[in-house]
A and B are shown apart, each in its own frame.
Chain A
Amino acid sequence: MAQFEIKRLVPLELFGYDISFTNASLFMVLALVLISGFLIFAMTGRSLVPSRIQSIAESVYEFVAGIVRENLGEEGMRYFPWVFSIFIFILTLNMLGMIPGSFTVTSHIIVTFALAAMVWIVATGIGFARHGLGYLKLFVPHGVPIWLMPLIVPIEIVSYLIRPISLSVRLFANMMAGHTMLKVFASFAVSLPFVAKAFPVLFTAAFTGLEFLVAFLQAFIFTVLTCIYLNDAVNMHH
């Protein structure tokens, strides 16, 4: 569990609050620098026929743009920079966490919860800004018999309120469980005798591959769900 510990590298304080520069802060800043540096460096050529690095940047752009268009339509492209930032930030933090000895920012519930809460607050804000109190109709699905309403409406409300929790716990639990599994199996390799060490080593290697997939998949799922929540707010399709 030592890998999840927060270490204060530079203790700082602001208005009585602890804002120390920790190992988590280091990886957040690293992600910010890597993402910005990569995307800006990749586009220095701005050529019509892209170089390899430029086509990587364009692929990421088109990938997220595809998710936004699919869920929100062309009109939803105004939220594209925000959704893109969420995707690339989570993806980079997950991937940085895959480097042995590094720190996984997204394995901390407070971080994933803050991101999920931001998504939920922004989506809810857009919903009320666009539809006023009509946004509450989201809790009254079409085509449900009236006598079922007392059951359906509370369920809808609870499932809406629980969104930031499910969104954040999904990412946090996946990242933490994967890294813990790796740690446990790697520790078997230390304690098992002789040839038997091969099994946990092989398993750890295979599981590392799976963890890369999970790191991508969780960033993708978080982004898709963000788009789905935004779509509820923008179009009120349920």
Chain B
Amino acid sequence: MDGRRAIPHIAADSCKGCGLCLSVCPENVLAIEAAQVNLKGYFPVSVKAEENCIGCLSCALICPDVVFTIERIDDHLEGRDE
């Protein structure tokens, strides 16, 4: 069993690559890759370690461009609670 509790989805073309989400993520789930450019010409954030996401929403709360949608893995959470 890995520690994954949630899955972040990113609307990459809305991202301006500001990096605020990276600065607040406690589990180093996110990364900005210089090789990737979005439609606006920014380097968008991407998920590099999905298995580490704990679903704390810090990235979504601080994102000025509302690029995140976060899904919680319910079964896994219920399993942990037991």
Chains A and B form a bound pair: no
